[in-house]
Amino acid sequence: MINTDDFKKRITEMLSQDYRLEFLGDNLEEIVHLLSDTKAEKIYQWVQEIVALNIRSIVVGSSKIYKEWKTH
């Protein structure tokens, strides 16, 4: 099981000051606890790809909620 604080800290440490980070959803802790180590590593790799500009990040141009994240 992945620790939510460690998950957020690791991703935050990967980002430079050029990025603003928002963890979306009210139930991030529940979502992160459902991640396997393999899935978490894929997310970390995805963040590194964004930082390296190999893929484009999502740009939110308004204060409207981007997506409601739910777990079942």
Residue ranges per structural domain of the chain: 4-51
pLDDT score at 42: 93
Cα angle for residues 59, 66, 5 (degrees, 5° grid): 90
The residue that leads in pLDDT, 21 or 4, is: 4
List pLDDT tens digits, range 19-71: 777 776 778 888 888 999 999 999 899 888 877 878 766 666 666 665 666 66
For residue 71, which of 22, 35, 24, 27 has the smallest C-alpha distance? 27
pLDDT score at 8: 86
Instruction: Tell me how far the alpha carbon of residue 36 is from its chain's centroid.
Output: 15
Mean pLDDT, residues 4-15:
85
